[in-house]
Chain A
């Protein structure tokens, strides 16, 4: 792998116009990654999902260089119907379109950061990989007091042109005071066996609101890793919803730092898995000051030989009195080969706090099925009704009605 990495790195650098100093920095990240390699089960955070093995088994040899010189045709039929929205379109890892037509031009600033190396506050080997190979990266700034009229949908599209490739993406968002942004990450892949490595950084200033929805719904054979870092100032709110379903393997990590008083973070997620899929959500909520709040709800429905992992951590430092932290994970195992692993963690150094977590996993409740069948539904219908209700609980947590409807339609949940 080492020669491949070196070769692909040289190719990537050739296409960029970087200063000698920046090339050195990128080289440093590359060396870091070469030393560490892909994370494996020996690392505590990857205990339940050995990425090294998964890549080896599903992809084999990865290539890290992609030719971004030619453009891809944007297929407008793939856009979401019935919801007016702003767009960013990635095709095979290349940014094809950035479109904020619905918004006031001077209120949103898009800064090309491709030529500047910005450090990511995460020293995992995947962030090193990302830093070494990201090709274009943008910073999107929402100005003071501006609230986006329409949601922003980021289309992540891949097609059969790429195979056994590693794609690295990075975006930075900055929400100034009193601003708000609704963001939907939508994955549409027709490619197979690629490893997609995404890093987002959000900086939320006072009173700003971020609604962050990640939808990985469509069947595909890719392996995905996504890391979101959210920094929150006073009174800011972040809401994250994850629908984890389509990819062969997917790990979503949310790291949330509640730096300002009265800030709050909500993370809700659904695993709906079949076949041999293996998905994970890992959350770290750091309560770093007084009067902060976090709430997490993760529900899983697992069929066939699928496997879901939830690792959630609530950290409360000694200054963070009056913290309110809550975390709940529930799983239904529908097949004897399915598996659910959880590690809900509390690390608390302050005494005046209210923190709790709960985790439950098991089969569908036979009594409930009996109840429904005795009222005339057949087994299949009763089962669907129960699962529907189980998942609806999480979807209902979405605070934006437009997006809620969109996601309900996608999941096929009826009310």
Chain B
């Protein structure tokens, strides 16, 4: 018991809150065409990529920031941000890990992401993104043998332009909403994965995002393409230092699954949530969208959202191919002054398409949580099915839990079922656990883990263990 208590004490504070003291190269402050040209130039991008960015920027200038979301935030001054920041030592990318700045290696070691491959016990290929650049990608050779491309997107733009050109912006076009378009204009780095026809990716692919520099926004872009009959499981993790100011994170993630392909995308989001009084923290405004382009394809989103001052995202599936499947499993936990407005969109276009949504929300302290989702079965999507379940758990009467589903059924042969409940942990359950020797906090942890189990089961093993711990830590101090 003592050891466990110690462990909890250690974890009580946000343990990823340190900063790495490293010299940075930055783009000039502000958002304008020159900054976009600067980013494009420093990335040595071809002409078409610059055009893509400028087109997005043109469109961005016409767009108005949306304000329909539940968590309101003070206006962001987009001219007061640095849109590019990278460690100086990364100017010419080191050829291998030995040349990498030791400070960076140290940072990732602290974060628990070992970059030295020889130390790896199990095979997870990691692409580590530090502020605006990717610093290292592991296991590349082994993946190349199978024909899998896994590299930073800036490299992919140079080495595989035909693939990037074909798929970039095909799911989230440059004409999309405010934050997605901003990302299209100024995105800096991210991961690119291509799984060739018929290949089952032998290991989990993973990206680890780290915001380090202050006054920056992180705009990464991830593109995953699963060719016919392939399978890939992809993990994403994120942390940031503790700062009093709010930082913006506006990423775009595009997934494309062709015939019979399957993509499993898991996120454990643990950005800095701000302190107890709600000061600081990350604004996590992310656009994630998957396109089931081919027949029998499948995209599955799993997310554990515990961090960020404000989480505002709706990982979506467009079920275009016949018989395609979309899944969404989510746990969102808000504590103290955190706010979340998250959910999913399932857009059924093809015949016999199926989708499933399991969402678990837990709010404690002064936090506020909203599930917002759309299920849209179009008139052509005959024989389609959706099942949605959203459960919310409230701890205390200072917090809020809301459910706002939009359900549209335009096809008489299709079925939609939706269920939602809101409740609290019952006194009986707590009493039962405490009677058997657990402290109040441990009892709550146990019950909450049970509540979330359906979603935690969907995570790959290594992630599930971490996520389970995270769930416990996030609710620290919310009972008693």
Residues of chain A having any CB pair with chain B under 8 Å: 44, 318, 321, 331, 333-363
Known: A339-B409, A348-B392. A318 touches B397 (CB 8 A): yes
Residues in chain B near residue A361, CB distance under 8 A: 407, 409, 415-416
Q: Is the interface of B mostly helix, strand, loop or mixed?
A: strand
Known: A341-B408, A345-B403. A318 touches B423 (CB 8 A): no
A351 pairs with B395, CB closer than 8 A: yes
Which of B394, B417, B419 is the one whose CB lies under 8 Å from A351? B394
Residues in chain B near residue A321, CB distance under 8 A: 397
CA distance A358 to B416 in the complex (A): 10
- Chain B positions 142-197 with a Cβ under 8 Å from a chain A Cβ: none
Interface string of B394-424 (1 = CB under 8 A from A): 1111111111111111111111111111111
Residues in chain B near residue A349, CB distance under 8 A: 397, 399-400
Nearest residue (CB) in B for A319 is B397
Residues in chain B near residue A333, CB distance under 8 A: 409, 411-412
Nearest residue (CB) in A for B402 is A347
CB of A365 to closest CB in B, whole Å: 10
Which of B400, B415, B420, B423 is the one whose CB lies under 8 Å from A363? B415
CA distance A321 to B411 in the complex (A): 40
Which of B398, B406, B422 is the one whose CB lies under 8 Å from A346? B422
Is there a chain A Cβ closer than 8 Å to B379's Cβ? yes
CA distance A340 to B405 in the complex (A): 14
Nearest residue (CB) in B for A315 is B402
A363 pairs with B412, CB closer than 8 A: yes
Residues in chain A near residue B415, CB distance under 8 A: 360-363
B411 pairs with A348, CB closer than 8 A: no
Known: A331-B409, A339-B410, A359-B407. A344 touches B418 (CB 8 A): yes
A350 pairs with B397, CB closer than 8 A: yes
Known: A337-B379, A355-B421, A361-B416. A343 touches B400 (CB 8 A): no
- Chain B positions 370-394 with a Cβ under 8 Å from a chain A Cβ: 379, 392, 394
A348 pairs with B412, CB closer than 8 A: no
CA distance A335 to B117 in the complex (A): 60
Interface size of B by CB at 8 A reads 34
Known: A321-B397, A359-B418, A360-B417. A351 touches B407 (CB 8 A): no
A351 pairs with B416, CB closer than 8 A: no
CA distance A415 to B376 in the complex (A): 36
- Taking A342-B407, A357-B418 as known contacts, 11 extra A-B pairs with beta carbons closer than 8 A to each other, sorted by chain A number, are A318-B397, A336-B413, A337-B379, A341-B409, A345-B402, A345-B403, A346-B404, A350-B394, A354-B423, A357-B420, A358-B418
CA distance A363 to B412 in the complex (A): 5
Nearest first, the 9 A-B pairs at minimum CB distance are: A362-B415, A333-B412, A351-B394, A359-B418, A346-B403, A356-B421, A342-B407, A361-B409, A351-B424
CB of B347 to closest CB in A, whole Å: 14
Nearest residue (CB) in A for B425 is A351
Which of B392, B405, B410, B414 is the one whose CB lies under 8 Å from A359? B405
B401 pairs with A348, CB closer than 8 A: yes
Which of B398, B399, B405, B422 is the one whose CB lies under 8 Å from A356? B422
Nearest residue (CB) in B for A311 is B406
CA distance A331 to B409 in the complex (A): 10
Which of A351, A353, A358, A362 is the one whose CB lies under 8 Å from B420? A358
A346 pairs with B411, CB closer than 8 A: no
29 A/B residue pairs, CB under 8 Å, sorted by A: A44-B68, A331-B409, A333-B411, A333-B412, A340-B409, A343-B405, A344-B403, A345-B404, A345-B405, A346-B420, A348-B392, A348-B394, A348-B401, A348-B422, A350-B394, A351-B424, A352-B397, A353-B424, A355-B423, A357-B418, A357-B419, A358-B418, A359-B407, A359-B416, A359-B418, A360-B415, A361-B415, A362-B416, A363-B414
